Amino acid sequence: MRVPILKQGPYLIASVQSALTDQDLVQLRDELADRVGKSRARGVIVDVTVLDVMDSFATRTLRTIAHVIRLRGAETVIVGIQPGVAFAMVQLGLSLEGVETALDLEEGIAVLNERLRATSGAVPDGG
């Protein structure tokens, strides 16, 4: 099932609606990499609240998404990993090292806002 991607201000929000096949995940990766340029987004949030399984492929693909988006000049936050899913990921030996995560959508936006402020603060006005 295709993941809808919405634009909200400078951010893209991809909210996963149901279980994802490998192909869905790959499509999400490609679409986000494309959309981040087209919409000149500064940040991406992937909301995985509904996922009850994050296996090795899902985790690897989310990590790839975050790295690709960073190379495209934006930041990614994965939000909504459920407690049991987090536990299973740890048992399985999977990590999202180097990838920003947050509790929920609200926290994710706060993380991106913080990042954006920090970045724009480093550049003088009109520079």
What does the binding site for other proteins look like in residue numbers (CB under 8 A)? 19-23, 52-57, 82-85, 87-89, 91-94
Cα 31 from Cα 19, distance rounded (Å): 18
Q: How far is the CB of 57 from other proteins (least distance, A)?
A: 6
Residue placing its CB nearer to other proteins in the complex, 33 or 88 = 88
- Pick from 44, 45, 52: nearest CA to 86: 52
Residue placing its CB nearer to other proteins in the complex, 6 or 53 = 53
Q: How far is the CB of 19 from other proteins (least distance, A)?
A: 5
Residue placing its CB nearer to other proteins in the complex, 91 or 124 = 91
Cα 36 from Cα 53, distance rounded (Å): 26
Partners of 78 in the β-ladder = 46, 101
Pair of tokens at residue 56: 């090795």
Residue corresponding to tokens 């550049």: 123
Q: How far is the CB of 7 from other proteins (least distance, A)?
A: 28
